[in-house]
């Protein structure tokens, strides 16, 4: 069998909430003092975007098909656990993950203090290196007004590669 390599692209965006009791979670890390993102699960847009990139590369649909927001089992779910389940599905389909990379677009929080921990948590869930970069929207648009957070991700999958 000849080696096969696939690339997937992921995107996720969540509106900022106003409930300070709901923690802001990105890349499996809690950022205290900021309200969490609105979502059916914990709203971790970084974990969701990486999951979307993995599923897309493998041709296995999207995160909404696997974990629908109409299913109460996923209300408040830990998105790192969901990402781990996606990575397990990818491997069960015969793929290995080469790496993933994500860019988080937000004014706040500042990601640098938590970047290493986010990368570790995402990488542990995926079973391969995941890099995280922060990008500021410089005050432009809804993201610049801190109305939400967007994440772009890409992932490389391999099959039959030694």
Predicted local distance difference test score (pLDDT) of residue 160: 83
Domain of residue 149, CATH code: 3.30.1330.50
Q: Is the peptide bond before 109 cis (omega within 30 degrees of 0)?
A: yes
- Radius of gyration, alpha carbons of the chain: 15
pTM of the model: 0.96
Give 22-69 pLDDT, tens digit per residue.
999 999 999 999 999 999 999 999 999 999 999 999 999 999 999 999
CB-CB contact of 24 with 30 (8 Å): yes
The total domain count for the chain is 1
CB-CB contact of 82 with 47 (8 Å): yes
Segments of the chain scoring below 50 in pLDDT = none
Domain membership of residue 102 as a residue range: 4-159
């Amino acid at each position: 069998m000849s080696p096969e390599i696939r690339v997937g692209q992921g995107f996720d965006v969540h509106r900022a909430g106003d409930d300070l009791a709901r923690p802001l979670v990105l890349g499996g890390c809690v950022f205290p003092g900021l309200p969490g993102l609105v979502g059916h699960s914990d709203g971790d847009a970084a974990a969701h975007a990486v999951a979307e990139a993995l599923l897309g590369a493998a041709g296995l649909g999207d995160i909404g098909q696997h974990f629908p927001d109409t299913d109460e089992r996923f209300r408040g779910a830990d998105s790192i656990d969901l990402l781990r389940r996606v990575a397990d599905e990818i491997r069960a389909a015969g793929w290995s993950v080469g790496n993933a990379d994500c860019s988080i677009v937000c004014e706040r929080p500042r990601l640098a203090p938590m970047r290493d921990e986010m990368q570790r948590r995402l990488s542990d869930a995926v079973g391969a290196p995941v890099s995280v970069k922060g990008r500021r929207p410089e005050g432009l648009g809804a993201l610049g007004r801190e109305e939400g957070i967007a994440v772009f991700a890409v992932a490389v999958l391999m099959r039959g590669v030694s």
